[in-house]
Amino acid sequence: NAGVTQTPKFQVLKTGQSMTLQCAQDMNHEYMSWYRQDPGMGLRLIHYSVGAGITDQGEVPNGYNVSRSTTEDFPLRLLSAAPSQTSVYFCASSYGQTNSPLHFGNGTRLTVT
């Protein structure tokens, strides 16, 4: 049972480049979300999804897109990378939306130069 799998683990981008962070879970969880972690800021919600075909914005959505075509996958797209997007990104899923414990992926460390 793999849980939540994020790829890649590390990524370096130049300003203006685009990329997709992949997230997949094999627990049949309906709720999935993306967070970014910055020093001294805790975890901030970027986007979330309560089921296939349904997504919504979190606290810091600007510069990011998501889609949820299947229950398993929830990719995060950076449209035009900026240095302010340098961060550690975590994907998480849970069974019962936000009142259930989150299962986190191992994170993606992204650096934008």
Partner 1 sequence: AQKVTQAQTEISVVEKEDVTLDCVYETRDTTYYLFWYKQPPSGELVFLIRRNSFDEQNEISGRYSWNFQKSTSSFNFTITASQVVDSAVYFCALSSGEGGANSKLTFGKGITLSVRP
Q: Which residues bind partner 1 (CB under 8 A)?
A: 33, 35, 40-45, 50, 54, 56, 88, 90, 92, 96-104, 106-107
Neighbours of 87 (CB within 10 A): 21
Q: Where are the beta strands (DSSP E) in 1-113?
A: 4-7, 10-13, 19-25, 31-38, 42-51, 54-57, 64-66, 76-78, 87-94, 103-104, 108-112
Give min distance, CB of 6 to partner 1, in A. Answer: 11
Beta carbon of residue 21, minimum distance to partner 1 (angstroms, whole number)? 15
Least separation in angstroms between CB 98 and partner 1:
4
Looking at beta carbons only, is 17 or 95 nearer to partner 1?
95
Instruction: For partner 1, give the closer residue by CB, 62 or 106.
Output: 106
Closer CB to partner 1, 17 or 109, in the complex: 109
Find, among 4, 10, 12, the residue nearest to 34 by Cα. 4
Backbone angles phi, psi at 55, to 5 degrees: -135, 160
